[in-house]
Amino acid sequence: MQKNILIIGACGQIGTELTYALRETYGSDRVIASDIREGNEALMNSGPFELLDATDYDAMEEVIAYHEIDEVYLMAAMLSATAEKFPMRAWNLNMNSLFNVLNLARQKKLSKVFWPSSIAVFGSNTPSVNTPQHTIMEPSTVYGISKQSGERWCEYYYNKFGVDVRSIRYPGLISWKTQPGGGTTDYAVEIYHKALADQKYTCFLKEKTKLPMMFMDDAIKATLQIMNAPKEQIKIRSSYNLAAMSFNPRELASCIQKHIPNFEVNFQPDFRQAIADTWPSSIDDLRAQEDWNWNADFDLEKTTAEMLKQLNNKL
C-alpha cells in the first residue's frame, strides 16, 4: 500500500519546513499539507493542501480517508506566550487536536503518529541543569500543562491500544524560512531579523536567561529520525528529551556581534520572563542518543552564521 502523510499545522514554524522535508523524501503528491489558514506562497505551491481545523474530528477523519493517509504529524498548537492570554482556547486546541489524532489511530485509521512536546513540560521544581529524561515535572504554564498532559495520553494510548505515537520535547527552535508565533523562545529568531534590519534589538527576556535551543535543520532531522526508527527502538512513548545547545540572550547577541559589530541589544523583560524562569537551562538527551542515534549538527556559531546568511539572501 502506498503510504500518504498528513501534516496538520503545516503553515507554522516547524510545519512548513517539515512539509518541505517530507515532500523531498516521499514526493510532493504523497504529502498533504493542512492548516486552518493558507500558508506562504512557496508552501502553497509545493504540493496538495487542505484547509483543516485540527479540533474538528469529522473533518479530520474525512481528509484522512480521502487522501488515504497512513501517518500524521500533528504540529498545530498554541504556544506558551499566547496560551497565557487565552488559556481555554489553548487547552481546547492543544488537547482536542491530539485526542482526534490518537482516536483515529486507535481505530486503525492511522499506523503512525508524530506529536511534539516541549521543554515547557518542566517547571521550577525540575533540576534545571542537564534536566534528566525522568524527573519532577510540575509545569506552571497553560502550554506546559497541555504538553505534559499530552505526553501522558500518548503513553496511555501506546500502552492500552498499541497506538504507535512518537514524540520529542523540542527546545526553542531557530529558523529563517517561517517565523515562530506566540512562543517564549521567539526572541532567538527576532534578534537575527532585527540585527540585519536595524542593527538593534530590544529583548523581552533578561540577558542571563539561559534556555535550551536548536536550529531548525536539527529539529527536522530528529523528527524524521524518530519517525523512521524501527518500532522496538522507541522505548519512551511519552516524549524524548532533545538537546543541541544552550545560551542566554547576551551570549547570542555577542555571537551576532562577531558578524555585525555595531549591533546593539538592550533588555526589557515582559511577562514572558516569568515563563522562561520556570524552564530548564540545559537538557540531558542521552536516551535519544542511545535509542535512535540522535546527535545535533548545529551549535550557536554555526546557527548564527547560517541564519545571517539565509536572512541576508532573503532581503
Residues acting as catalytic residues: 143
- Closest Cα partner for 101 from 135, 174, 150? 150
144 is a contact residue toward ligand SER (CB under 6 A): no
Can residue 183 be called a binding residue for ligand SER (CB under 6 A)?
A: yes
Per rule CB under 6 A, is residue 184 in the interface with ligand SER?
A: yes
Nearest to 276 by CA among 180, 205, 207: 205
Residue from the set 16, 118, 175, 278 that interacts with ligand SER by CB under 6 A:
118
Task: Show contacts with ligand SER in window 18-77 (CB under 6 A).
Answer: none
Of the candidates 19, 94, 167, 185, which one interacts with ligand SER according to CB under 6 A? Answer: 185
Identity of residue 113: V
> Is 13 a binder of ligand SER (CB under 6 A)?
no
Least Cα distance to 284 among 138, 134, 165, 117 occurs for 134
Minimum Å distance from CB 303 to ligand SER?
A: 15
Q: Cα–chain-centroid distance for residue 58?
A: 26
- Which residue's Cβ lies closest to ligand SER? 183
Q: How far is the CB of 285 from ligand SER (least distance, A)?
A: 15
Q: Tell the smallest beta-carbon distance from residue 65 to ligand SER (Å).
A: 31
Task: Please count the residues of the chain.
Answer: 315
Contact between 249 and ligand SER by CB under 6 A: the answer reads no
Neighbours of 200 (CB within 10 A): 12
Return the exposure string of 124-136: e unless at least 16 CB atoms fall within 10 Å of the residue's CB, then b. Answer: eebebeebebeee
The residue range among 180-188, 201-209, 215-223, 292-300 that interacts with ligand SER, by the rule CB under 6 A, is: 180-188
List the grid coordinates of 276.
522562561
Q: What is the largest CA-CA distance in the chain?
A: 58
Footprint of ligand SER on this chain (CB under 6 A)?
Answer: 79-80, 118, 120, 143, 170, 172, 183-185
